[in-house]
Amino acid sequence: MVRQGFLSCLVLAAALLSAPLRAAEDVIDTRETSSERAIPLLATPKAAPAAARETQQGVGGSWGASYFAGVSATGTNAFVLRITNRGPRAGTATVTLATASTGAVLGTWTSGSIPVFGAVQYPIATIAAAVTPALTPAQLAAPMNLSVSTTFAPATQLLTFHSTTGTVANVTACGANLFEDIYLLGHMEGPNTAGMSSAVRIFNGSGRTLAAHLTIYDAGGGAQIGTWNSQDIPSGASITMSTAAILAAATPAIPATTAAVTILATPVRGLRLEHVVMAGGALTDLTSACSP
């Protein structure tokens, strides 16, 4: 099983001064920068009425497959599935496991309801033990592929945690469905996640100075729990700040007992968020995810 929580935070910049957003015309309603294609905005901190959000693109879908070694095979890597609900409504995720060599479906498993801006983390071994029909010991030991379908717009990741070194890797594989949500980071490890400390990197790719306004949601229930404003970021520059420091400086301050959060930036042309972690002495980028 993978333990949630954090060790010491990354050595990052000192606490940043709160700053208001730039001019109102900088705030946009599409995910677009000069170097990235536009992606329909599924939800914002100032959410649209539910009826309007229901009609937006990208609601639900499926992707596959990510390969992983047999969950009961001898090895040092534990595989973990992370799913974040990007909106516009709560829903479930269904995981299908298939034999890697033949593609034969072995079984399926469906999650409980995941709220908007909520995020869940499941060890693949736990999912494999609960699929229907039940898997045999031989099937559990053999390499498998997985695919995920959801009733909401997801950000889905397959990670590995090394039991000896404590390092983590993002091994998500979904071809053309691999993307980076430049405004939303799901399942950001909070201060109470053991073995990992995360940070938010904010890059300004515009031609002007910008400040970021972040809204923070509880990963478990999807409720908004705080907001945070960055300092001004010059054009072409970036800042990196530990998630723990952001939560402590948020309004209101978010307790250090928090295990995981979803972080959403007010869309501003040229702004990009990235999710980086330190685990086992190694720095890893966990920004990339899958979504239909």
β-pair partners for 127: none
For 245-286, write each residue's pLDDT tens digit: 999 999 999 999 999 999 999 999 999 999 999 999 999 999
Could you tell me the two tokens for 193? 């996640």
For 116-174, write each residue's pLDDT tens digit: 999 999 999 999 999 999 999 899 888 888 889 999 999 999 999 988 888 999 988 88
**Long-range contacts of the stretch 32-38 (C-beta < 8 A, 24+):** 32/269, 33/182, 33/205, 33/206, 33/269, 33/270, 33/271, 33/272, 34/205, 34/206, 34/270, 35/205, 36/182, 36/272
For 193-231, write each residue's pLDDT tens digit: 888 899 999 999 999 999 999 999 999 999 999 999 999
pTM: 0.79
Cβ atoms of 260 and 118 within 8 Å: the answer is no
204 burial type by CB count under 10 A (0-12 exposed, 13-18 middle, 19+ buried): buried
Rounded to whole angstroms, the Cα distance separating 245 from 12 reads: 9
User: Distances from the Cα of 183 to the Cαs of 30, 34, 136, 138, 143, in angstroms?
Assistant: 10, 15, 42, 42, 34
Q: Would you state the pLDDT for residue 59? A: 56
